[in-house]
Amino acid sequence: MAWQMPAMLDPQVTLEDFDPEGWSRAGLDEALARVSTGEVAVDSTLVQGHPAGILIAAAANADLLVVGSRGHGGFVGALLGSVSHRCVAHATCPVVVVPPPQPATAGG
């Protein structure tokens, strides 16, 4: 997971509460808890920097880069996000963009 200092702070966040690295660590721990089954080893890293740049650098010698796409539904959901778009455009290996799961439809 990559994190970076925000350009602007939410006015409701006090400097005592400001901990973007801690917030990112908590988010990473939560994500790992959701996917950990004990059957597959998962390594994690928390890095400061722009997510696309971090992923592109990490994939420099990789055979494949797989990134998720949050999507926002409708037309916007058909578009790549900024991180996945930069990875597709600049990675030196093939990139697979995995869309979010789609809700089940009635009769389908």
Interhelix angle for 82-90 vs 51-58, to 10°? Answer: 30
pLDDT at 79: 56
Contact present, 53 and 4 (Cβ < 8 Å): no
Q: What mean pLDDT value characterizes the chain?
A: 84
Q: How does 12-31 read in b/e, with b if 16+ C-beta sit within 10 Å?
A: eeeeeeeeeeeebeeeeeee
**What local confidence, expressed as pLDDT, does residue 39 receive?**
84
Q: Which stretches in the chain have pLDDT values below 70? A: 9, 13-14, 71-80, 106-108
In this predicted structure, what is the pLDDT of residue 80? Answer: 61
Domain boundaries, the chain: 1-49, 50-108
CB 98 within 8 A of CB 67: yes
Which listed CATH number (3.40.309.10, 3.40.50.620, 3.40.50.800, 3.40.50.920) goes with 50-108? 3.40.50.620
